[in-house]
Amino acid sequence: MRNHLLLTTTALITAASLAALAPSPALAQAAPAASAPEGRTPETPETNGRWTAGETVVVTGQRTASYAAPDTTTGTRTPTPQEEIPQSIQVLNASLIADQNLSSLPDALANVSNVVPATNYEAVTRDTIIRGFDTTTYFDGLPAYGLTAVTNPTSLVNVERIEVAKGPSATLFGGGTGAPLSGLINIVSKTPRPGFAASGEIEGGSFGSFGAQFDVNLPLSGEQVLFRITGDYGTADSHIAAIGSEGWSLNPSLVLALSDATRITLRGQYFQLEQLEYSGLPASIAFNPALGVDPEGFTGSANAPRTSIENNLTTLSLDHDFSETLSATVAVRHYDSRFDEYGTTPFFVFPQPTPTSAVFVSAYLPTDVSQTFATASLLWTHTAGAVQHRVLVGVDVDSTEYRAELGFGPIGVLDYRTQQRAPFVLPALSDLQVDDLSSVAVFVQNQIKIGERLDITAGLRWTRLETDTLYTSGGVTFVDLDTTEERVTPRLGVTYRVSDGMSVFAGWSEGFQGLVVPFGLADPKPEESQAFDGGVKFATPVTGLTGTVSVYQVTRQNVVTANPANPFASIQTGEQRSRGVEIDLIYEPSRALSVLFSWGWNDTEVTRDTTLRVGSRPARVPEQSGRLAARYRFAEGTLAGLELGGGLTHVGERFITLPNALTAEAFTTADLQASYPVGPVTLGLSVTNLFDSNHFEPYAYLNQAVVIPARPRAVAVSLRTSF
């Protein structure tokens, strides 16, 4: 199964033919800057100072490939320089995504300290972890209810940048069950812009992978009506036997500039993913090679239907400037999600009959989510002498309906050593959970600038959350709750510019999140959190150093975890605490070189509980992790146009489950990337797991002690063109 260097033959032949017929690199370099690939043009938001989603930006100048993102809207819901925000925020822009040949959100998030992304195989079982705790995903600042991997199944074709805001952001964000507790991921979509532009890419590589994507920007009426559409298709096998996936997306967007002061943006996002579900390999087998089990084998029902995810988001937003000091934003989103989960899994509630076998069951979990979210806000700027106030006042309203059914059926004892398989039998649905959630929140924030050095951010959010939950099993009602929760969550932070390009900051905030009743939890209590974040921010264009060094502590109460006695049920723990140190830096001394360095030390543990041992660590969370990546661009001489990049990623030991038992060993992997313009196309090459690290990673499947073998060395070749 370790076919490490299997390439798509067609892509290689096409690349070789184009190279033989193409003009010299020097002629290719003479092409205008506007023909550069998406994420490399001067029209990307990261190079233009203050910018908000949906705003039309026109900038002229030389091509840039900077990874730095001086401004962001995620920390304050206003366009604000990073050095003025009292919070650690990392931005992965389009240049970085393109240079590292990233195709999925988990791959991209590996560049951020103390983030544990879910793998693409865990699409409906695990969420991304920030600073030791599960996090929340937003699209263009608006929520999409569900796990990160469900709401964003693998594709980055429509992503302009990914913003990771650490620590609770409960003052400004909410929806679904409430506000995020330990951080959030905000995925900023591509937006139509003036001028025609188009790009396309095909890629093929190891394990039968093939993908194609396109991006067309089409002005329909000057600068008043702008249209853009992106889309992609991908299919791949896996290093694990019998596993395969197929997915596609389509993302149209339209901007109507009614006047210089009024703009309407309409977005549609549709994506679909199908893949055979993998239930992991028992750690007791994986860590004992003497048992003779192929770690990349598949045991279960290979003929089971593929688990499918189908999401549809429609967003309408209106931006209006009443004056230079007063503006308004109104946005409405409707989100529909359907996922049908089919699987065959070992059920370790029953003891293993032999060291290499287990009792297997089939499972079926169809789930539907329908969510409507609306937000409206006013931003007022007032200056009095040396003091400037930027006051944001707004309201969020959310209505979410969640319906999930569950059924299990017996399969029998299967042996991993013989990779035994059994026909899939669709089980009858026995359990039903229906949640109706509605919330309303009012928030206010004041960004106070005193002189040129001191910035103060203060905010409050009041949230009212109503939850109506029904849970039945075998026709018997076990949970029928109608609850209402209200909370006020404050935020206070300060930044002080010590010198040009360096600021110190400190921030404190609280978080609140209501709960959808997990299976087996009959009397849920809202989760709450308190967080401190402080450190140093760098923004020095002269030396090319930008980024953040921070220390933090996040404490959460009433955290939901899996029940140690039953992997299909949940419990609430008393309290868990996360604290640590983070470094996220970008060094760009010239246009030719970009270096990214991230490192995190994290100490997350159970601090108070009646079921779990105090001092236990949550599963999957390493104490140390980090990444070093670099890109060099040749601008002159015979190598002009060639770009070379590479990186090292390290992840420390992690416990596989909570309660703690077995651990997955630490690992370090390397990756390489290269690109070269050949006539009208750019030829790209990427290699992941360069040294073929043979390790196992914790795998989230029903809180069972299972792992997944790391993906072996893989090579991909791409052809990209733009005009």
Identify which of 316, 331, 516, 534 has the alpha carbon closest to the alpha carbon of residue 436: 516
The DSSP H or E segment spanning 149 is helix 148-151
pTM of the shown model: 0.88
What confidence score (pLDDT) does residue 518 get?
62
User: Phi and psi (nearest 5°) for 655?
Assistant: -75, 145
Q: What is the rounded average pLDDT of the residues 422-429?
A: 93
CATH of residue 309: 2.40.170.20
Percent of the chain past pLDDT 90, that is, above it, reads 66
Q: What is the rounded average pLDDT of the residues 284-297?
A: 95
Bigger pLDDT: 2 or 361?
A: 361
Q: Is residue 84 part of a domain?
A: yes
Judged against a pLDDT cut of 90, whether residue 293 lies above it is answered with: yes
pLDDT digits (tens, 9 = 90+) for 44-98: 333 333 333 333 333 333 335 789 888 888 888 899 999 999 999 999 999 999 9
Alpha carbons 218 and 468: distance in angstroms, whole number? 45
Query: Max Cα separation, the chain?
Result: 78
pLDDT digits (tens, 9 = 90+) for 147-161: 655 666 668 999 999
Judged against a pLDDT cut of 90, whether residue 687 lies above it is answered with: yes
Question: Domain range for residue 484?
Answer: 9-722
| DSSP code at position 178 | B
Q: Is residue 355 part of a domain?
A: yes
What confidence score (pLDDT) does residue 691 get?
96
Bigger pLDDT: 37 or 113?
A: 113
Bigger pLDDT: 142 or 121?
A: 142
Q: What is the rounded average pLDDT of the residues 324-337?
A: 96
Q: Is residue 623 part of a domain?
A: yes
pLDDT digits (tens, 9 = 90+) for 507-541: 999 988 876 656 566 677 788 889 999 999 999 87
Which DSSP string corresponds to 592-611? TEEEEEEEEEEEEEEEE-SS
What confidence score (pLDDT) does residue 6 get?
33
- Answer yes or no: are the C-beta atoms of 509 and 489 closer than 8 Å: yes
Q: What is the rounded average pLDDT of the residues 265-293?
A: 94
Counted domains in the chain: 1
| Strands of the sheet with 281-282, listed across from one edge | 281-282, 706-709, 696-698
Which DSSP string corresponds to 487-521? EEEEEEEEEEEEETTEEEEEEEEEEEE-----TT-
Q: Is residue 1 part of a domain?
A: no
Amino acid at 213: Q
Alpha carbon separation from 606 to 116, 351, 472, 699 (Å, rounded): 18, 28, 31, 21
Amino acid at 150: V
Q: Is residue 2 part of a domain?
A: no
The DSSP H or E segment spanning 393 is strand 387-415
Q: Is residue 614 part of a domain?
A: yes
Alpha carbons 640 and 679: distance in angstroms, whole number? 13
Instruction: Please name every residue paired with 597 in a beta bridge, in sequence order, or none if there are none.
Output: 585, 628
* Least confident span in 138-152, 222-236, 239-253, 609-623: 138-152
pLDDT band at 351 (very low <50, low <70, confident <90, very high): confident
Percent of the chain past pLDDT 70, that is, above it, reads 87
What confidence score (pLDDT) does residue 50 get?
31
What confidence score (pLDDT) does residue 151 get?
66
Q: Is residue 695 part of a domain?
A: yes
